[in-house]
Amino acid sequence: MNIPVILTNFKTALSGTGKNALVLAKIHESVSQKTGVSIAVAVQAVDIFRISQEVCIPVFAQYCDGISYGSHTGWMLPEALREAGASGVILNHSEHRFSERKKLISAVQRAKEVGLFVCVCAETDQEGKELSEMCQADVIAVEPPELIGGDISISTARPELISHSVEQISRVPVLVGAGVKNGEDVRIAKKLGAVGVLIASGITKAENPETALLDLAEGAKG
């Protein structure tokens, strides 16, 4: 699977749940087809099967546990996500961080074993470097938590973090996120060495998600 240039996390937003999630995913598919930009969506586990049947872009889970088949009521089994149609998974997001590194490493390992593309989130460039060295992530997404969901993007507020992250996390491609809203944010991120962006509210709260996505995709194309 190609690394998504735009990976939209639907979280548990009203616009990204159930029937609304399917509509939003189809908008992402349409924009990807129109622009040729690699776009993926990360949806709630209950929506993975339905959405993966309806769109041809990659569908990510928002989390999984480092478990195998057995007695794990309420846990998220990587095999179940893969069978539901997930192509990848986001791990260690600031809203759902692992309490212990060994649990994160186990989750990454299990996700990789079933063929999921793994995006591991980090809050700083240093954490990203450490995580890239201790687990086999396909991409590291650096998101300073204080900017997530805000009006100022990482590209504007902390562009040096992007370049530092790319330099520090040299063995794994880097996505950046937090406050990303428009094509200029994406252009800056890519100019500084990131392969793309992890975005959420910039799309899920957009008045016109298609227009917002088209702008982001144009920014990704340079």
Catalytic residues: 93, 143
User: Alpha helix (H) ranges present in 144-208?
Assistant: 154-157, 159-168, 183-191, 201-204
C-alpha 185/C-alpha 22 separation (Å) is: 26
C-alpha 2/C-alpha 147 separation (Å) is: 27
Residue indicated by tokens 């201790």:
134
How many other C-beta atoms lie within 10 A of the C-beta of residue 29? 17
C-alpha 196/C-alpha 173 separation (Å) is: 9
